[in-house]
Amino acid sequence: MNFTGIDQITHGVEDLSECVRFYEDWGLTKVSVDDNVAVFKTMDGSEVVLCHTDDPALPPAIEEGSTMRHVVWGVKDEADLAVVREKISGQESYGEVDGCPACVDPNGLSVSFRVTQRHDVDVKGSPMNTWDQPDARLDLPSTFYEKAEPVKIGHVVFFVSDLAATEAFYTDVLGFAVSDRYPGAGTFLRCSTPGGHHSMFILETPDKKAGLNHVAYTVRDIHEVFGGGLQVDKCGWKTQIGPGRHPVSSAYFWYVENPAGALAEYFTDEDYCTDKWESRDFQRSNEAFTEWAVAGGIDFNTRRQRVPE
């Protein structure tokens, strides 16, 4: 069976109001904010929930400080939810949270499953005039975005303490597919086939410390990656690296430091995989991570690369 994707993520955060400012600037829609909880959503209804790190309602953290505390994966309907319940019922940590099956993955992360609350979105990327299709955009200037409005949460990325065990949980138990690998170091997993190249990437470093690496938000086209990145630079948020392009997945990216934990990424144009996609092995390297990239980002005011401090 296929999952529909990431339905909801919850972060425990040290500075809630700073995080609210970040997600407003990031381009999410504010659903509700009070002293204890803030809820934002992407265009298609994927939810980002923010709570204080010491909120007793939160599941245990996989690392200190602001980080991801819970992921909800969506399924199409109640029948699929019953299938997931069956799949995870053998897990020692299996339980029910608000009527939804839940468990803890081998990395210590709390996960649950629900009938998706996301919805179709009718927006389009700007066509590219290419050699073979020079008039794909006919008598029309291309798009320039003043800010990004992410369509959905595309993928989550974690440092894991046991790569083999975590990969086995997501593939053997849940049925995710492996799109590509850094053998012995990382696995790109997709939750549906056909589907985008990865909905989850897990990475084991020599210290084997669990943690959040980043959360990636899907935008419409490369121009929205640029427009979004420039806007968050203007708002004072720090780019770690971007714009750039990944050889693995082919996507264009822009990574920004996120007060809710680790990094947030705008991305677009990832590979789309059917059963015919053949998983590849890559050596983990600079060249595998970036075809090209701008370290530190682009200054909104000068429209030039930020001079390293």
Tell me how far apart the alpha carbons of residues 262 and 157 are, in angstroms, rounded to a whole number.
Answer: 10
Residue 78 CB, shortest distance to Fe ion, in Å, is 31
User: What is the Cα 52 distance to its own chain's centre?
Assistant: 21
**Span interacting with Fe ion, options 128-136, 177-185, 229-237, 260-268, rule CB under 5 A:** 260-268
CA quadruple 149, 220, 238, 55: dihedral, nearest 10: 50
Query: Do the bridges between strand 5-13 and strand 47-52 make them parallel or antiparallel, or are there none, so unpaired?
Result: parallel
Residue 83 CB, shortest distance to Fe ion, in Å, is 28
- Specify the residue, 94 or 282, whose C-beta has the smaller distance to Fe ion: 282
**Span interacting with Fe ion, options 5-13, 134-142, 258-266, 277-285, rule CB under 5 A:** 258-266
- Specify the residue, 39 or 151, whose C-beta has the smaller distance to Fe ion: 151
Tell me how far apart the alpha carbons of residues 181 and 189 are, in angstroms, rounded to a whole number.
Answer: 9
- Specify the residue, 73 or 188, whose C-beta has the smaller distance to Fe ion: 188
- Specify the residue, 204 or 265, whose C-beta has the smaller distance to Fe ion: 265
Quick note: the x/- pattern for Fe ion over 212-241, rule CB under 5 A, is ----x-------------------------
Tell me how far apart the alpha carbons of residues 161 and 207 are, in angstroms, rounded to a whole number.
Answer: 8
The site that binds Fe ion (CB under 5 A) totals a number of residues, namely 2
Residue 120 CB, shortest distance to Fe ion, in Å, is 24
CB 3 within 8 A of CB 73: yes
Q: How far is CA 209 from CA 20, 196, 202, 237, in A?
A: 28, 27, 12, 26
Based on C-alpha coordinates, what's the Rg of the chain? 19
- Specify the residue, 213 or 231, whose C-beta has the smaller distance to Fe ion: 213
Percent composition of the chain: helix, strand, coil (DSSP 3-state, to 5) = 15, 35, 50
**Span interacting with Fe ion, options 94-102, 177-185, 261-269, 296-304, rule CB under 5 A:** 261-269
Residue 138 CB, shortest distance to Fe ion, in Å, is 33
**Span interacting with Fe ion, options 20-28, 236-244, 257-265, 271-279, rule CB under 5 A:** 257-265
- Specify the residue, 44 or 265, whose C-beta has the smaller distance to Fe ion: 265
Cβ contacts of residue 105 below 8 Å, gap of 6+? Answer: 111, 166, 169, 170
Range 187-216, binding Fe ion (CB under 5 A): 216
Is position 269 an interface residue for Fe ion (rule: CB under 5 A)?
Answer: no
Q: Which residues bind Fe ion (CB under 5 A)?
A: 216, 265
